[in-house]
Amino acid sequence: MSEPDKTQADMIAIDWGTTNCRASLLATDGRELDTRRAPEGAGGLQSSEFEAVFERLVDGWPDLPVWICGMAGSRQGWREAPYLSCPAKLADLGCQITRVTTASGRTVRIVPGLLYRDLRNNSDIMRGEETQIAGLLAKQDDFSGLVILPGTHCKWVEIQDGMVLRFQTFLTGELYSLLATASILRHSVSAHEADIPADHPAFLEGFLDVTSGRVPLVAGLFQIRTQDVLNGAQKDDSAARLSGLMIGAEFEAAKSGGWLEGTQDSFIIGGRGLTPLYEKACELVGIKSQSVFGLDASTKGLWYLAHRQKITAG
């Protein structure tokens, strides 16, 4: 990569999650001029340690507005950026930021997470995903529809005219990973859900077994082990079935939560591995979906929030 033309630079966007951190130097039009990564995720840092990691990360970059999303804004993060309650207009997230000024004089803006409380007083929270969704609005700021963000803690989010009405978190990715690496199934299943082809017959069968009600999730898990003990199943086939069961249980729960009613437009924001599995799952329940790559989405989201902010403040 040739030296970026920093004279065009306009802002610094940082997605600081639990396990890693990625900073981008953005041009006025949102193009990435330069990108750097740090291995220090927010999950492994004390509050007092964030500033040093940050200064190393942006060292040599111009003194521009810095926008951060993700777990760096949690109570155990750099500085707590309090949750905004739903319904919440995504474009307004940029007006509710928490500021930190570093010893070197840089001003850092941390984006708030979102909180949703349902009628039964059950709560749900997100931090980082709200900015990825804001990235969608950079292109279409009156977007209405369903957004699914697959991952360790998958989120289903209902948007109306650029406003988050409600959302729900499913532990699907974390459960898959625990079962595949730490349970009795680890002997029978390959660990990388991201490598499963979305048209794998065992994925489809597992998904349909659960969503049709034929096999409840908790009944289907031990069968994977039994098939292997008795018939020597392939680890990749067993992994595909496990993923089908897990994502099937998520879609089944989403259905009972009213998430599939009248759904028309939907976006999937995620990594390159899980997204095709969720696209296939959407197709199987009759939802038309488009996909967006997650890291691009959070960078675009920070750019969108920063510029809406400028316009609003203008």
Using rule CB under 8 A, residue 191 touches a second copy? no
Using rule CB under 8 A, residue 221 touches a second copy? yes
Residue 45 token pair: 């840092």
Would you say 33 or 81 has its CB closer to a second copy? 81
Using rule CB under 8 A, residue 81 touches a second copy? no
Using rule CB under 8 A, residue 218 touches a second copy? yes
Judge whether 169 and 153 are in contact, CB under 8 Å: yes
With CB under 8 A as the contact rule, the residue among 174, 195, 199, 283 that binds a second copy is 174
Using rule CB under 8 A, residue 49 touches a second copy? no
Using rule CB under 8 A, residue 119 touches a second copy? no
Using rule CB under 8 A, residue 250 touches a second copy? yes
With CB under 8 A as the contact rule, the residue among 219, 234, 258, 310 that binds a second copy is 219
Using rule CB under 8 A, residue 252 touches a second copy? yes
Angle at which helices 129-137 and 294-313 cross, to 10°: 70
Residue list 128-147, contact with a second copy (CB under 8 A)? none
Using rule CB under 8 A, residue 86 touches a second copy? no
CB of 120 to a second copy, least distance (A): 8
Using rule CB under 8 A, residue 125 touches a second copy? yes
Using rule CB under 8 A, residue 20 touches a second copy? no
3-state secondary structure of 161: coil
Q: Which residues contact 72 (CB under 8 A, 6 or more apart)?
A: 14, 16, 21, 42, 50, 78, 110
3-state per-residue secondary structure call for 38-104: ECCCHHHCCHHHHHHHHHHHHCCCCCCCEEEECHHHCCCCCCCCCCEECCEEHHHHHHCCEEEECCC
Using rule CB under 8 A, residue 256 touches a second copy? yes
Judge whether 81 and 98 are in contact, CB under 8 Å: yes
Judge whether 156 and 146 are in contact, CB under 8 Å: yes
- Quick one: which of 116, 133, 112 has its CA closest to 124? 116
Using rule CB under 8 A, residue 47 touches a second copy? no
Contact range with a second copy by CB under 8 A, out of 19-27, 122-130, 272-280, 290-298: 122-130
Chain centre to alpha carbon of residue 57: 22
Q: Give the Cα separation of 130 and 276 in Å (integer).
A: 21
With CB under 8 A as the contact rule, the residue among 44, 62, 82, 216 that binds a second copy is 216
The interface mask with a second copy, positions 229-248, x = CB under 8 A, is xx---------------x--
Q: Which amino acid appears at position 14 of this protein?
A: I
Q: Applying CB under 8 A, which residues contact a second copy?
A: 75, 115, 120, 122-125, 152-153, 168-172, 174-175, 178-179, 182-184, 213-214, 216-219, 221-223, 226-227, 229-230, 246, 249-250, 252-253, 256-257
